[in-house]
Amino acid sequence: MTTTDPRADGPPRFSVRQRLTAAVALLTAAALVAVGATLFVLESQRIDRAIDASLGQEVGELRRLQAEGVDPETGRPFTSPDRLITFFLSRNVPDADENLWQFPVSGTPTFVGEAQRVLRTSPRFPALVERLTRRGGVADLDVDGRTFRVAVQPVQQGDERAAFVVTHDVDGSRAQLRELMVTYALLSALSVILISAVASWLAGRLLSPVRRLRETARGITEGDLGGRLEVTGNDDLTELQRTFNDMLDRLEEA
């Protein structure tokens, strides 16, 4: 007893044209995702290097002033760490998304730059500065869902120690990157749609000889073998059309 696959009697679930279109769409989407991920990683690394370079530049300039040790306004050595940092802040303008801070020997910290309220109200910020004040260094600080890179340079004179601090809003610097990636995602989705539409149209044209072959084969009966395919083109499908016509010729002669 033979069994018949019930799927053989009905139309195929997915046509060759649909499978070709889906394959092209998946390959295109995978390529665009890979390019987007690579772009995001490389640009993120570039932003991190730019932030570190900016922090290093500010700290380096303060170190040079500290090494000279002479107050340009009086021509004499700086009288205190607070005086050195105050003079430095008065002559420097922070970059975008950056703040320059003075943590004095005693008293409330002051800053130059945009008002970063989340830092001014967070107890974790002064605690981090206090931890880095002895030796200096750079660390990341997460406050209210935002990431800041903090560089601390201690300034000590005798028993007095103050701290020069540079903070950089990492999320702010990456805002343009996020906007770029959103635009890239939208353009990529549109590209996948357009490429899929073109692929479907091309697949339909390339497979049209196969469709005509199927229609011709269905139209052939035992008493009528006169149907023939119109041979067009010069490729593998053209050879298939010729082979099919030759087969019909032999059947008709027989």
Q: Which residues pair with 112 in a beta bridge?
A: 100
Backbone angles phi, psi at 74, to 5 degrees: -115, -15
Decide: 71 and 87 in contact? Cβ < 8 Å. Answer: yes
- What's the pTM value of the predicted model, to 2 decimals? 0.72
CA-to-CA distance for 209 and 194, rounded, in angstroms?
A: 25
One digit per residue, the tens of pLDDT, for the chain of length 254 reads 445 555 455 555 767 788 889 999 999 999 999 999 999 999 999 999 999 999 999 999 999 998 888 888 888 898 899 999 999 998 888 888 899 999 999 888 989 887 678 888 889 999 999 999 888 899 999 988 889 999 999 998 888 899 999 999 999 899 989 999 999 999 999 999 999 999 989 888 777 767 766 666 666 655 556 566 566 666 666 666 677 667 766 766 66
Tracing tokens 């692929």 back to the chain, one arrives at 199
Full DSSP string of 212-241: HHHHHHHH-BTTB--------SSSHHHHHH
Q: H helices of the chain, where?
A: 16-68, 81-90, 117-120, 124-132, 170-173, 175-206, 208-219, 236-253
Instruction: Give me the CATH topology for the region 38-176.
Output: Beta-Lactamase (3.30.450)
